[in-house]
């Protein structure tokens, strides 16, 4: 059945894992389309409370008796365990049950789609792109893997032809999409628990790139394009895809030149074969975010925005929660929180802090995410964390995984060269911070380290007022 007909005939939708950042964005979209939205999640959160306030019905017990009657469609996240009673009941009783990625795939068949992919940079680039287009009066819808400060949401409602989505490589989810515009931000090794090795992961990205529509646009770095197989290059040629190369201080179709920090803000000049925009300001710190901005600006220009609309949009974009988010700042100390959970992301976040605060001591608190990622990238984690002046290293956040024998935070700790390092637990972290003379503090990780943000903010406020 065509996707457009499926969407029209779907009136009652049930989301299993509705509180997830990706799931909740889709749920919000379906609610905006006049659908009745129901959901299950393991725990009540600030986000699920907002979803209820917006008009959704959600429960928090895995109980088949609480499944609403007459569901047209069931959407679930891969994070749901195999033994989940409700999910298995719905599958075994013949309901239309699909993964979140397939739901996005259906949307991409009925809308023109901008898909942002990469092991790093997806959320910031997608959010910046969506904001620029919205600011420039392009009525996009956007599904973002983080809470955008301008909108206090992970979803932007729009009624135009275009949607902006994050193309998630985890579980090969992005293969469900049918994009008109693809941007590849990075293809560093990650999710090796899914792919096995980096080569197989690259093959996954290649399969995604070949999903691009006829006469589409691919935005990619020169070195990544050079690594693609001849088969992919052939498909791009057959589909008449416009390939746009980007980079910082590079001689490519699109580049950022004259990157600099002025009064605590990053500035750069946007250069392209079709013209330039000088002295652009971004509120997102770090050279990695300059790359993200380059891609977002390029997409905006492809869709018809002019230089002044781009400038205004960049200045008005406030960023994303937990992406180098400034939590506390006074004359004595600055506190930043960041989602970084891969060695490359840590280098980017710590590097941005060092560039913004070159004469200050940088203290980091890092919570590793997943036993498998810790095992696979222990050397990279140690090298990245050694960039800090001092480090408080927390225990591993397991997420969906069971422990792996011999894999703890201590294997990172032992490989680090710095002497200014201590192992902490959730119970001891606050006491350790109380006793430190902090100048710049940055919390890092994708687990539940964010539950300490308010407590750290309160600690710094009490110490410095």
Residue 122 dihedral angles phi and psi, to the nearest 5°: -60, -50
Q: Which two tokens stand for residue 250?
A: 């590079």
Residue spans of the domains in the chain: they are: 3-99, 111-316, 325-463
Cβ–Cβ < 8 Å for 272, 256: no
Q: How high is the pLDDT of residue 349?
A: 93
pLDDT bracket for residue 1 (50, 70, 90): very low
Burial 255-270 (b: 16+ CB within 10 A, else e): bbeeeeeeeeebbbeb
User: What is the value of pTM for the model shown?
Assistant: 0.83
pLDDT of residue 2: 43
Within 13 A of 349's CA, how many CA atoms are on the CB side? 36
41 CB-near residues (< 8 Å, 6+ apart): 17, 18, 19, 20, 48, 58, 60
pLDDT per residue over 129-180, tens digit each? Answer: 999 999 988 899 999 988 899 998 889 988 899 999 998 877 788 898 999 9
pLDDT of residue 195: 63
Q: Tell me, what's the pLDDT at 277?
A: 96
Paired with 442 in beta bridges are: 336, 364
- Judge whether 184 and 245 are in contact, CB under 8 Å: no
SS3 439: coil
CA 424 to chain centre: 27
Question: How many CB atoms within 10 Å of residue 315?
Answer: 13
Which helix (H) or strand (E) element contains residue 13?
strand 12-16
Across 297-309, average pLDDT:
94
Domain range 3-99, CATH class? alpha beta
Which CATH number, 3.40.50.2300, 3.10.20.30, 3.40.1190.10, 3.40.50.460, labels domain 111-316? Answer: 3.40.1190.10
**Per-chain mean pLDDT for the chain:** 91
pLDDT, tens only, 224-233: 899 899 999 9
Supply the DSSP string of 205-227, one letter for each residue.
Answer: HHHHHTTPPTT-EEEE-HHHHHT
Q: How many residues does the chain have?
A: 465
CA 99 to chain centre: 19
CATH superfamily of this structure's domain 325-463: Mur ligase, C-terminal domain (3.90.190.20)
Q: Secondary structure of the chain: what % helix, strand, coil (to 5)?
A: 40, 25, 35
In angstroms, rounded to a whole number, what is the distance separating the alpha carbons of residues 137 and 447? 36
pLDDT digits (tens, 9 = 90+) for 92-139: 999 999 998 889 888 888 899 999 999 888 899 999 999 999 998 889
Half-sphere exposure of 389 (CA within 13 A, CB side): 16
Question: Going by C-beta distance under 8 Å and a sequence separation of 6 or more, which residues neighbour residue 435?
Answer: none
Pairwise CA distance, residues 432 & 425, whole Å? 10
Q: For residues 195 and 203, give the distance between their C-alpha atoms in angstroms, rounded to a whole number.
A: 9
Instruction: Using the predicted structure, report yes or no on whether residue 282 has a pLDDT greater than 70.
Output: yes
Q: Give the residue, 298 or 197, on which the prediction is more confident.
A: 298
């Amino acid at each position: 059945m065509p996707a457009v007909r499926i969407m029209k005939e779907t009136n009652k939708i049930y989301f299993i894992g509705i509180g997830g950042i990706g799931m909740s964005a889709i749920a919000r979209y379906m609610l905006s389309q006049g659908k009745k939205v129901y959901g299950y999640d393991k725990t009540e959160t600030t986000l699920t409370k907002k979803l209820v306030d917006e008009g959704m019905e959600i429960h928090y017990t895995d109980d088949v008796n609480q499944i609403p009657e007459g569901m047209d469609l069931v959407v679930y996240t891969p994070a749901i365990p195999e033994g989940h009673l409700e999910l298995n009941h719905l599958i075994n009783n013949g309901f239309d049950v699909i993964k979140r990625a397939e739901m996005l795939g259906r949307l991409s068949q009925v809308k023109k789609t901008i898909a942002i992919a990469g092991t790093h940079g997806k959320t910031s680039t997608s959010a910046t792109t969506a904001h620029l287009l919205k600011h420039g009066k392009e009525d996009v819808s956007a599904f973002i893997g983080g809470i955008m400060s301008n909108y206090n949401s992970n979803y932007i409602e729009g009624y135009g032809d275009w949607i902006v989505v994050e193309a998630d490589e985890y579980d090969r989810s992005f293969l469900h999409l049918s994009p008109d515009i693809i941007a590849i931000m990075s293809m560093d090794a990650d999710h090796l628990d899914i792919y096995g090795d980096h080569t197989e992961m690259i093959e996954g990205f290649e399969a995604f790139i070949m999903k691009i529509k006829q006469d589409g646009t691919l935005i990619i770095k020169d070195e990544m394009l050079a690594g693609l197989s001849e088969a992919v290059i052939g498909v791009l040629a057959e589909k008449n895809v416009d390939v746009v190369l980007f980079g910082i201080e590079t001689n490519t179709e699109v580049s950022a030149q004259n990157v600099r920090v002025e009064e605590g803000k990053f500035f750069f000049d946007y250069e392209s074969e079709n013209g330039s925009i000088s002295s652009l300001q971004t509120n997102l710190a770090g050279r990695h975010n300059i790359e993200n901005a380059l891609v977002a600006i390029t997409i905006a220009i492809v869709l018809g925005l002019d230089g002044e609309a781009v400038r205004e949009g960049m200045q008005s974009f406030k960023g994303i929660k937990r992406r180098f988010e400034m939590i506390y700042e006074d004359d004595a100390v600055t506190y930043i929180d960041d989602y970084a959970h891969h060695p490359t992301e840590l280098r980017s976040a710590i590097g941005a802090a060092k560039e913004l605060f070159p004469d200050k001591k940088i203290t980091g608190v890092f919570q590793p995410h997943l036993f498998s990622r810790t095992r696979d990238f222990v050397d990279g984690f140690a090298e990245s964390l050694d960039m800090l002046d001092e480090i408080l290293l927390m225990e591993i956040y397991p997420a969906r995984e069971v422990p792996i024998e011999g894999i703890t935070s201590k294997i990172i700790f032992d490989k680090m060269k710095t002497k200014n390092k201590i192992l902490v637990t959730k119970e001891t972290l606050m006491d350790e911070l109380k006793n430190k003379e902090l100048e710049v503090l940055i919390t890092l990780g994708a687990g539940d380290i964010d539950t300490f943000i308010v407590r750290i903010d309160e600690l710094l406020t009490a110490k410095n007022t």
